[in-house]
Structure 1
Amino acid sequence: MRALVLGLMLATTACSLTSRLDLPPPPVAAAYPVALDGEAVPEWRAMFGDPRLQRLIALALNENRDLRIAALNAEGARAQIGIQRAQSLPNVNLDAGYTRQRQPSGVAGAGVGVTPGENTGITFGQVTAQAALTSFEIDLFGRLRAQNAAASERYLASREGQRAVRLAVIGAVADAYLAERLADEQLRLTRATLADWQDSLRLTQQRHAAGQSGGMDLAQAEGQVRQAEADLAQRQREHMQASHALVLAVGYPMLTDLPEPIDLMGQPIRTALAADTPSDLLIRRPDIMQAEHELRAANADVGAARAAFFPRLSLTGAFGFASLALQSLFQSANQSWSFSPALSVPIFRGGELKASLDLSRVRTSIAIATYEKAIQTAFREVADGLAARATFTAQLDAQKAAVAQAKRRLALTRLSHRAGVTSRLELLDAQRTLYAAQQALLSARHGELTSATALYRALGGGA
């Protein structure tokens, strides 16, 4: 018992060969190229106000397989901590046994005055019971503590990885939903445009039959309708594919009781998000926090590799009782014990220890580069999001004005065409211009919303 207490005292006063880790300075500018005022990053339900989108995100957070895998990885890392910590504690086993044996008299009586042949043999039984301490290592140089620290940091990294996957799932569902909304509205616009152009074709056919227009006008009207029919087939395909992508992002078949969707132009997604300084990303972005914990784990591995060069002291002991009869087993005269300290000093390992240390140092350098890369990537994503926010408002205003102008032009061109002032070709051009302007407006609005979602993720989200 005194030896065990002494061993525990040595373990608590042991030194550590893990050097202190100083994180490298962020390899980015101190401020973003574009600075905008706005609201703080909200929780995801406040960010995405569409009730249909909220239902889909909530469903994905329960059903998405990537998120399940990340959660299981975190649980596995936590279990690994328990395995690693157990190596720092003594293993105590309680053993009990009974042995029955027979020895020839010539063997059993050798040296005690028993002559071979006087008896045929000796039969006896033995009962044992003992508590054994098996190979408890005294962590003199912090090898086990370094391994414990590495396991703990990797668990924290897996937790941050789970947060990163959760944020990515939210963003992926939002992006897939917006893509599905865009495809749906482009499909509706194409159908309405096709119907309008079919009406125009029927009017042209009537005028051609009455001899009021030539074959060129009829051919142009028919070509325009056929192109719209081709666009309709393309939009139908894109809408089906966008719907499939949304189901995959959610990880569950589409529900039938979802709220009615909101059009892109009326989507209540917050676009006025603001960023403070790049240093805020170091504590908000889960992928940066994950890279930091991986770096700390790699640094702890270097400490464990250094400690492997030094001697290891281990203790093995047992205390128990042994008796020929069970009823007298626990008498004081039948006590037995053993105590076996062992010292292991590495002399020659063929370069294995040095190679392990070199490998740990290389992995630490890789972890540093990964950490710095995560910061640079985050800086770029936030800068891109702020740049998008600064320009999309002007683009949308200009595109809305272009749509309004195209509508006015088409109305005037129709009046002029009916009066015989303008040609059929000019009417076709006005129709195509309006159609293209409306499609561009939908694309611009979709781009504004997806850039807001990307900025939300880049700022760390509210996950």
Structure 2
Amino acid sequence: MKHIVKPTLLAALIAGVLSACSMAPRYHQPQVEMAETFPRAAASDQQTGSVAAANLGWQDYFADERLKQIISLALTNNRDLRVAALNVEAVRAQYVIQRADRLPALAATGNGGRSRVAQDLSAMRDATGQQTSYIAESYNVGLGVTSFELDLFGRVKSLSDAALNQYFQQKQVRDSTQISLIASVAKAYFDECIAQAQMDLSSRVLMSREESKRLIDLQFKSGVISQVEVDVAEAQIETARADYAAAKQARDQAHNALTLLVGKPLPDDLPAAAPLSQQFVNAELPVGLPSTILYQRPDVRAAEFALKSANASIGAARAAFFPRISLIGGIGSGSNDIGHLFNGPNRTWSFTPQITLPIFTWGQNKGNLDLATARKNIAVAQYEQTVQAAFRDVADALVARDSLKKQYEAKLRGEQAQTNRYKLTQLRYKHGIASSLEQLDAERDSYAAQQVLLRTQQTLLENRADIYKALGGGLNQQTVAPAANTTVTTTTTTTTTTVQ
């Protein structure tokens, strides 16, 4: 028995050492050419102690309690996010299946039978030498390895590594979906709020113009003004009505978009919306960081895991050129008497090694290797494209932020000037100094300035959501403190994850 065990253990040890080999190319993260810092980063962004967007919880970034509750509902019920999470589970199951090939598959078997052998077919004879029938019994039990490939050239390991990286990739896709969902919910909510504000503005202007129209009608009947002033006042009333209808349409469509993103009708007990000027906590995101923080964005990490998976597939394609050794074996016991089934002399065993050596595959293995190499090159290009697109997302959002701030401040001053002009013109009109046309013209310009200011404010709010998304914010509900003494580099470390 000792002579049997020692060679077996030695063979298992050698197989384990050889199975650690891999023919996959050594992975190197591609270096993408881009600026070291983001353009147009404000001086305030360089402040120390600021929380990076990826660590800033969305509960601490958005200030409107109504919006926070809507985001929470969307994270629970949104179908796109649910599908992304289920895809993670599906890919995880595929990895578990692929990983199982690296270990021997053990199976227990057992069978038994009784049969009557006919007299003419029997080899048993009685005392007189005549053939006689009898009852035949047979019982067998065993435990064996159905098929186990000695992974001498890393084919199975490469396939397992490829499946593992696909699992990591899908997890990052799920995280990217969540980030996009939060930004989409916020922008749809801002659209609804702005549309409601435009409805309120149009309603106030409509009431004011209808009141002015009644005064103009009285003046027209008295012969003080001409039909021109009456027609201008009527046209402005219809313009306000059309603007109200358009704003109502925009609000209803934004509400429908929110309902779709949330995945169910919005509850009636949500808190009231906060003013447009109080939608965010008064803190700018720290964008004056090295551009290498983009490597932590989920979409960039997903592209890198896809590249790692393609790299591992090359190892499997290379290993296909070499022999494959499979082992089949088992131990058990057999007897024609169930009572003696487990007696020592009735033990059985079998050992069936098999080797397959490719000789003529008519270019199949070469084609598979070329295909795996091409897919890796595609993955490299896609990874570089993803990084460059991420950099542009942040750069565009920063350029827009600086410009929109200046636009909003300028249009706010312009709106205030138009409002003051309208108030002064009303006073002049009441004292008979200004004509009705001057009063209508001042009111029209003030109304237009308020509409433009609302649209600019809407774009500015959406830009804040875009910056948060572009910098990878939205994965954490509450703010997470960054790890101490952590520097962001372009080197990706190997992640060890246990998948049950």
TM-score category, normalised to shorter length: over 0.9
Residue type matched to 1:282 in 2?
Y
1:18 equivalent in alignment to 2:32 = no
Match of 1:54 in 2: 68
Residue deviations 1:334-377, cap 9 Å, x none? 12211111111112223222222121111111111111111111
Deviation at 1:5, TM superposition (A): 5.8
Question: What's the secondary structure of 2:111's corresponding residue?
Answer: strand
Decide whether the 8 Å contact of 1:136 with 1:316 is kept in 2.
yes
Answering whether residue 106 of structure 2 is matched by residue 100 of structure 1, we say no
Q: Distance in 1 between matches of 2:282 and 2:139?
A: 78
RMSD, aligned α-carbons? 2.1
1:211-252: per-residue Cα shift (whole Å, max 9, x none)? Answer: 111111111111111121111111111111111111112222
1:178 aligns with 2:190: yes
Establish whether residue 281 from structure 1 lines up as the match of residue 298 from structure 2.
no
Q: Is the 8 A contact 1:34 1:387 kept in 2?
A: yes
Contact 1:264-1:442 within 8 A present in 2 as well: no
Residue 280 of structure 1 aligns to which amino acid in structure 2? I
Note the C-alpha offset of 1:263: 2.0
Distance in 2 separating the partners of 1:45 and 1:6: 58
The match for 1:87 among 98, 101, 118 is 101
- Give the 3-state SS of the residue equivalent to 1:13 in structure 2: helix
Contact 1:130 1:319 in 2 (8 A): yes
Structure 1 distance, partners of 2:128, 2:218, is: 133
Counterpart Cα distance in 2 of 1:4 and 1:165: 49
416-425 vs 218-227, which deviates more?
416-425
| Structure-2 change in CA distance of 1:47 and 1:116 (3 Å) | farther
Equivalence for 2:320: 308
* More moved, 260-269 vs 339-348: 260-269
Give the Å deviation of 1:101: 2.9
Gaps of 5+ in 2: 476-500
Match of 1:380 among 392, 400, 404: 392
**How many residues were matched structurally?**
460
1:184 Cα offset (Å): 0.5
> Aligned residue for 1:334?
346
2:370 aligns with: 358
CA drift of 1:76 comes to 1.7
Q: CA deviation at 1:333?
A: 1.6
Amino acid at match of 1:9: I
TM-fit CA distance, 1:274? 2.3
In the TM superposition, residue 169 of structure 1 has moved relative to its aligned partner by 1.3
Counterpart Cα distance in 1 of 2:346 and 2:129: 31
1:3 and 1:338 map into 2 onto residues whose CA distance is 13
Superposed, 1:243-258 pairs within 5 Å as 243-258=255-270
Which stretch shifts more, 31-40 or 396-405?
31-40
Shift of 1:323: 0.9
Contact kept in structure 2, 1:96 and 1:130, CA below 8 Å? yes
User: In the aligned structure 1, how far is the partner of 2:80 from the partner of 2:323?
Assistant: 44
Letter in 2 for 1:91: A
For the pair 1:68 / 2:74, whether they are aligned, the reply is no
The whole-number CA distance in structure 2 between the counterparts of 1:156 and 1:61 is 21
1:26-425 equivalences under 5 Å are 26-36=32-42, 37-38=44-45, 39-40=50-51, 41=53, 42-104=56-118, 107-109=121-123, 118-270=130-282, 272-275=284-287, 276-283=289-296, 285-425=297-437
Report deviation, 1:167: 1.0
Identity of aligned residues (%): 37
- The 1:114–1:376 alpha-carbon spacing in structure 2 relative to 1, beyond 3 Å, is farther
Q: Cα gap change, 1:151/1:264 in structure 2, threshold over 3 Å: closer, same or farther?
A: same
Task: Return the letter of the residue paired with 1:357.
Answer: L
1:239-273 deviation line (CA, Å, top 9, x unaligned):
11111111112222111111110121332345621
**2:34–2:388 Cα contact (<8 Å) kept:** yes
Q: Which residue of 2 aligns with 1:426?
A: 438
Aligned partner of 2:203: which letter? Answer: R
* Equivalent position SS for 1:99: strand
Distance in 1, Cα, partners of 2:128 & 2:77: 80
- In 1, Cα distance between the equivalents of 2:230 and 2:183? 48
TM-score (norm 1): 0.94
Residues 400-455 of structure 1: CA deviation (Å, up to 9, x unaligned): 11111101211222233344444433322211111111011111111111111101
Answer with 292-301 or 7-16: which moved more.
7-16
Contact 1:106/1:117 (CA < 8 Å) preserved in 2?
no
Cα 1:305/1:90, change in 2 over 3 Å: same
Equivalent position of 1:442 in the other structure: 454
**1:13 Cα deviation (Å)?**
2.5
**Contact 1:105–1:114 under 8 Å retained in 2:** no
User: What is the CA-CA distance between 1:104 and the residue it aligns to?
Assistant: 4.6
Equivalent pair of 2:67/2:189 in contact (CA under 8 Å):
yes
Give the alignment's TM-score, normalised by structure 2.
0.88
Distance 2:272 2:256 in 1: 18
Deviations 1:270-315, CA, capped at 9 Å, x for gaps:
56212201111102x1110111111101100111111111100011
State the SS of the aligned residue for 1:221. Answer: helix
- Give the letter aligned to residue 74 of structure 2: A
Q: Determine the C-alpha separation between the residues in 2 that align with 1:50 and 1:418.
A: 42
Q: Which secondary structure state, in structure 1, belongs to the residue aligned with residue 130 of structure 2?
A: coil
Bigger Cα displacement from structure 2, 419-428 vs 230-239: 419-428
Q: Distance in 2 between matches of 1:362 and 1:3?
A: 42
Greater mean alpha carbon deviation, residues 32-41 or residues 150-159: 32-41
- Cα offset for 1:4? 6.8
User: What letter is aligned with 1:201?
Assistant: K
Distance 1:113 1:3, change over 3 A: farther
Structure 1 stretch displaced more, 423-432 or 49-58: 423-432
Q: State the SS of the aligned residue for 1:25.
A: coil
